[in-house]
Amino acid sequence: MSNDLINEKRMYDNEMEHATDMSYENEGGTVTIPLKEYDKLREHQKYITDKDMINVIDKIEELVRALRKHIVRTEI
């Protein structure tokens, strides 16, 4: 093969970039944590903690209260 063809097929500018990428190749997505910490995270997952989401919910609650003032229930 010619040198030009070899250079075209290379994805990396230098060997260090390639070595850096290869060092992450075998890393898995698994993390080991204590069971107590896992239980605490699972319990915390049941609650809404995002400030923007809480603000939206508060605004919806305010609007629902305003709408309830205009509800008239009549028995037909």
pLDDT band for position 14 (cuts 50, 70, 90): low
Q: Residue 25 above 90 pLDDT? A: no
25 within some domain: yes
Instruction: Give yes or no for a contact between 62 and 53, defined as CB atoms under 8 angstroms apart.
Output: no
57 within some domain: yes
Higher pLDDT, 11 or 55: 55
Q: What is the number of structural domains in the chain? A: 1
36 within some domain: yes
Owning domain of residue 59? 3-68
pLDDT (0 to 100) of residue 37? 93
- The residues, any chain, with a CB within 8 Å of residue 57's CB and separated by 6 or more, are 48
Percent of the chain with pLDDT over 90: 43
pLDDT (0 to 100) of residue 47? 93
75 within some domain: no
Instruction: Give yes or no for a contact between 34 and 41, defined as CB atoms under 8 angstroms apart.
Output: no
45 within some domain: yes
